Amino acid sequence: MDKFVCIRLVQANALDLTLFQFDYDLTFAVFFMNTDRTIYGRYGTRSERKDATKDISIESFREALAAALELHKHYAANKTALAGKQPRPTKFKTPDDFPSLAGKYKSTLDYEGKVVQSCMHCHQVRDAERRFFRDERKPIPDDVLYPYPMPDAIGFSLDPEEKAKVKNVARGSAAQKAGFKVADEILSLEGQPIISIADVQWVLHNAREPATLNTQVVRGGKKINHALSQEKDWRRHSDIAWRTTTWDLRRMAAGGLVLEDSTAEERREAKLEDDASGCA
């Protein structure tokens, strides 16, 4: 850590959305950056509400730090490979530019008064993005509804204590069909050097539908290339129920109701078939 200049941002007030693009449902996210604003990589992820740290660890964070320093060591000769990691064009420069958030928060926190009420949370950025499409009476795109998919959406999981090592490959999945195997270490996706699961999610978040991603892994000391093909609507395999940003979606679609699958007994009592839809 002593080789980095560390800066901590604790709120989204006046956040530069042209630079800081990440999964806004997280409670902890890291950017590894050059002073010229080039992003070497990202760190931090989450896949459920209660166990917020089950997919990350000090060990994998240490590996991401070391990998970022290695990329920095060879900068700017590797700038072309880093191009895909850079922010995408955005319609709004700051959260305050979203119509639903405009004028509600100041650029700094009110530490002398109601500090909690003056703080814009990161999840409000995604809320505002979805609200913008709804208020414009436009369909909400899948990449906004299902942001930063976990790798299991396409059939594999990563070891939380490693940089980007495959822990499991689902049978019959796109990952298995592409040739992924347990213990493969992912070196790159779409030409981007991978230093964490967050980097994998960045590539998936910006992938098209359908798409074929060029992947390079290390297996038994040898580099192997894969073509990872993703079918249309693959993002919809993502579980978004844990996300704070689904709260507003529930208000939009069901007035705030939380729907749960009915049990087999409840379906029998309602005289529904086993494969029929039913909510408890």
- Is the pLDDT confidence value at 280 over 70? no
- Is the pLDDT confidence value at 255 over 50? yes
* pLDDT-derived band at 277, boundaries 50, 70, 90: low
Higher pLDDT, 242 or 260: 242
Structure tokens at 155: 């059939």
How far is the CA of 28 from the CAs of 44, 53, 56, 135, in angstroms? 6, 9, 10, 30
* pLDDT-derived band at 266, boundaries 50, 70, 90: confident
How far apart (Å, rounded) are the C-alpha atoms in residues 207 and 84? 11
Mean pLDDT over residues 221-225, rounded?
Answer: 97
Mean pLDDT of the chain: 93
Same domain, 133 and 256: no
Mean pLDDT over residues 168-173, rounded?
Answer: 97
Closest CA to 132 of 255, 257, 248, 15: 248
Same domain, 157 and 184: yes
How far apart (Å, rounded) are the C-alpha atoms in residues 175 and 87? 26
Residue range 113-169, pLDDT digits in tens:
999 999 999 999 999 999 999 999 999 999 999 999 999 999 999 999 999 999 999
Same domain, 191 and 277: no
How far apart (Å, rounded) are the C-alpha atoms in residues 191 and 151? 17
Residue range 191-217, pLDDT digits in tens:
999 999 999 999 999 999 898 999 999
Same domain, 28 and 52: yes
* pLDDT-derived band at 178, boundaries 50, 70, 90: very high
How far apart (Å, rounded) are the C-alpha atoms in residues 208 and 234? 10
Same domain, 90 and 176: yes
Same domain, 124 and 260: no
How far apart (Å, rounded) are the C-alpha atoms in residues 93 and 95? 7
Q: Which domain holds residue 261?
A: 251-280
Same domain, 146 and 268: no
- Is the pLDDT confidence value at 258 over 80? no
Number of folded domains that form the chain: 2
Same domain, 44 and 170: yes
pLDDT value at residue 87: 98
> Domain of 240: which CATH number?
2.30.42.10
Same domain, 258 and 186: no
DSSP, collapsed to helix, strand or coil, labels residue 136 as coil
Structure tokens at 136: 């414009």
- Is the pLDDT confidence value at 8 over 80? yes
pLDDT value at residue 256: 62
* pLDDT-derived band at 275, boundaries 50, 70, 90: low
Give the β-pairing of 156-158 and 39-43. unpaired
- Name, in order, each residue with C-beta under 8 angstroms of 129's C-beta and a sequence gap of 6 or more: 98, 144
Q: How many CB atoms lie within 10 A of CB 206?
A: 16
For helices 246-254 and 123-135, the axis angle rounded to 10 degrees is 30
Same domain, 24 and 148: yes
Q: What's CA 235's distance to the chain center, in Å?
A: 12
Mean pLDDT over residues 87-112, rounded?
Answer: 96
- Is the pLDDT confidence value at 228 over 60? yes
Which residues lie across from 227 on neighbouring strands?
Answer: 214
Same domain, 238 and 260: no
Instruction: Please tell me what DSSP assigns to residue 263.
Output: P
Same domain, 47 and 127: yes
* pLDDT-derived band at 274, boundaries 50, 70, 90: low
Least confident window among 48-52, 127-131, 134-138, 275-279:
275-279
Mean pLDDT over residues 167-186, rounded?
Answer: 97
